[in-house]
Structure 1
């Protein structure tokens, strides 16, 4: 049996997230599995590198699946993009070793979050960024980013109630760049907890807006309490840029 790795780009605004939900055709996983089942004649289940929430986008989501189909990688790529909806694109198809697992073999991920920082909203960016009308202090936000970097217990920056598994994660870097009124916050880490990027992002923004002080970050690390952190920002500004493997 062959093991196939696929790299996927999608616009999440019409979908209920990555994970298959019963018979719903409104998930990314469900749509891709339906097409793969159609073109291979087999019941295909794909394994994603991780879940993305409803409205979240991806430039480099990774998944794998097992198949006995003789279709070449190029043929699978062409067939997938022929039958998938316009807002889900498979960028790459490759055969990988049998033991490759899209989730368990991932060594890092990179996310971007976009903020439209102008008193007037943007008609074009509304599905792909979060609108903040008040002026943000870049210096304060950069200081917050430095405090979040490194190895910490991020339970308080997640939507997990509790976890039997470790909630310690390492953030390699958080950077801020701007193009006019559009700010890009890039998060690079070994792994992320449920809603961790969106809650860190909300905390950074509230510090930039002056409604929270930067020392709240240390308080959250020590208390491990979600309510002490900032808001959970909307999903539409979040992009999974890439997944790293050895």
Structure 2
């Protein structure tokens, strides 16, 4: 029995997130369908994260145990031949028996893309959030700096959060501009439900002068979600990297 790790990338527009659900097709279901077509058996797949509906991934890791002698290069090639066009296998590798894509994960990096222009970009439809007011990246970076460190992020998670421990460590957070494309990035040991999208919403709230920098530490300390910190659209969010030892 082999433990096989797949690193995949996907556009999440047409899917209800990663985890299998009864109300629509998911990334996990599509990957399981492809594995079944290639290996002739439906295997249980363990994903590194439960990405939401509409969220994309540049790198997403999963693993499954299978009885097969097919070479890794052949598994990768065959899966890419049968997967939908919006999902691709970037890498296939054998990993130790005790490897679990979720529980062995030491951290993740997310990117949120914003098309910051008064004119929409049809080539980024569904791939970036369109925001027409100018974002001051210097001011936005000052907000991002306040997120770095070990904090209680109870005020920055969605109502469906199921994690009792809301303390997380953010190791890097920033924002950069390339023309009209603004990218927010954040790295940490873990993230709460909708946390990244709410952090971006907080940056936007400061940009719109609905909050100021001094409000952020107080919001963290109080642990109460503020209406100004809205949850941004899923279309701009990408799971960019998954870190393992």
* Global fold match (TM > 0.5): yes
Aligned partner of 1:7 in structure 2 is 7
Q: Does 1:138 align with 2:137?
A: yes
Residue pair 2:137, 2:177 contacting (<8 A) in 1 also: no
92-101 or 151-160, larger mean C-alpha shift: 151-160
1:69-218 to structure 2, matched below 5 A, reads 69-160=68-159, 163=162, 165-218=164-217
Shift of 1:225: 1.4
Tell me, in whole angstroms, the C-alpha distance in 1 between the residues paired with 2:162 and 2:85.
Answer: 38
Unaligned runs of 5+ in 2: none
78-87 or 206-215, larger mean C-alpha shift: 206-215
Aligned partner of 2:56 in structure 1 is 57
Give the match's secondary structure for 1:177: strand
Tell me, in whole angstroms, the C-alpha distance in 2 between the residues paired with 1:244 and 1:201.
Answer: 22
Residue pair 1:219, 1:228 contacting (<8 A) in 2 also: no
Aligned partner of 2:234 in structure 1 is 235
Shift of 1:228: 5.0
Aligned partner of 2:18 in structure 1 is 18
Please list the CA deviations of residues 65-124 of structure 1 after superposition, one character each: whole Å capped at 9, or x if unmatched: 011122111111011000001110000000000000000000110110011111121111
Tell me, in whole angstroms, the C-alpha distance in 1 between the residues paired with 2:162 and 2:123.
Answer: 39
1:213-228 to structure 2, matched below 5 A, reads 213-227=212-226
Alignment coverage as a number of residue pairs: 245
C-alpha RMSD of the superposition? 1.5
Cα distance, 1:194–1:218 mapped onto 2, change above 3 Å? same
Tell me, in whole angstroms, the C-alpha distance in 1 between the residues paired with 2:209 and 2:92.
Answer: 46
Kindly report structure 1 stretches of 4+ aligned residues shifted beyond 6 Å.
Answer: none
Tell me, in whole angstroms, the C-alpha distance in 1 between the residues paired with 2:222 and 2:208.
Answer: 23
162-171 or 202-211, larger mean C-alpha shift: 162-171
Residue pair 1:216, 1:228 contacting (<8 A) in 2 also: no
Give the TM-score of the pair, scaled to structure 2. 0.95
Shift of 1:38: 2.0
